[in-house]
Amino acid sequence: MTHPNRRELLGATALAVAATPLRASGAVIENALPWTTDRTMPPQIVEPGGWVYFTAEEAAAVEALVDRLIPPDPETPGGKDAGCAVFIDRQLAGPYGRSDGSYASGPFHDGTEQQGPQSSVNPAEHYRKALAALDRHCRATYGGQPFSQLTDEQKDSVIGGLEDGKIDLGEKAGGFFKQLLKDTQQGFFADPIYGGNKDMCAWRMIGFPGARYDYRDWVERHNERFPLPPIGIANHPNWRG
């Protein structure tokens, strides 16, 4: 009695599959993909006006912080006018601020930077505690002045202290600075529907086409300005928010 080897067995299986008729039913899709409303969770357009999470004092501090992290220049607005503080405010008021979907039940141990946050404190709580500690430091150091009222040189000195851990906010050295910098960068470059990148100023600065369907012809064309203006999600003709 002979036994088939692996090659023969695989070959016989392939022939059997090929010889088996496929029975399936389907429909021809014409003009557009079938779409059912409310089957996805589209982003909510951030409306201007008022703070959702920050208090007025916290918002003033964050606006001053983001405007020093991304200072304005003659061609592009800074972090404040680009809406970075608004972006952070809305994010902290939503799932990101609550750490929805993240494990938040210890035990917690100090991990590596690549392992991400190791804490039960969510981003919204982190901001609130850090901003309160920052306010106490500034008032104690600069004659009762909050961060938003400091000179640009003093603000930069404080930010430098946050970055290198010389200013103690009661957390791991540089923790708040790293989170603030990341959130500011995201607010500056994210789609305007989330509250930042006002008038697509960051996209215009770097020549990013935005939510255009197809610009593959330009992917490999380095150091060339894309000839069309950027488009945000909410500005696309097919948007149904």
23-32, 168-177, 231-240: range with highest mean pLDDT = 168-177
What does each C-alpha distance from 72 to 4, 79, 198 come to in angstroms? Answer: 74, 7, 13
At residue 231, what are phi and psi to the nearest 5 degrees? -125, 130
Residue 185 falls inside a structural domain: yes
Write the pLDDT tens digit of every residue in 117-139.
777 789 999 999 999 999 999 99
Residues 134 and 148: their CA atoms lie apart, in Å, by 11
Residue 19 falls inside a structural domain: no
What does each C-alpha distance from 215 to 196, 212, 220, 226 come to in angstroms? Answer: 24, 7, 10, 9
Write the pLDDT tens digit of every residue in 141-177.
999 999 999 999 999 999 999 999 999 998 876 799 9
Residues 62 and 126: their CA atoms lie apart, in Å, by 13
Of the two residues 199 and 37, the one the predictor is more confident about is: 199
Residue 41 falls inside a structural domain: no
Write the pLDDT tens digit of every residue in 198-217.
999 999 999 899 988 888 88
pLDDT at 154: 98
Residue 212 falls inside a structural domain: yes
Query: Is-contact 58 126, C-beta < 8 A?
Result: no
Residue 204 falls inside a structural domain: yes
Record the tokens describing residue 239, joined without a space.
Answer: 């948007």
Residue 205 falls inside a structural domain: yes
Domain count, the chain: 1
What average pLDDT does this structure show over 68-80? Answer: 96
Residue 18 falls inside a structural domain: no
pLDDT at 40: 62
What average pLDDT does this structure show over 90-116? Answer: 83
Domain limits for position 222: 56-100+120-233
pLDDT at 188: 98
Residue 10 falls inside a structural domain: no
Residue 19 has pLDDT above 80, yes or no: no
Residues 158 and 140: their CA atoms lie apart, in Å, by 13
What average pLDDT does this structure show over 70-79? Answer: 96
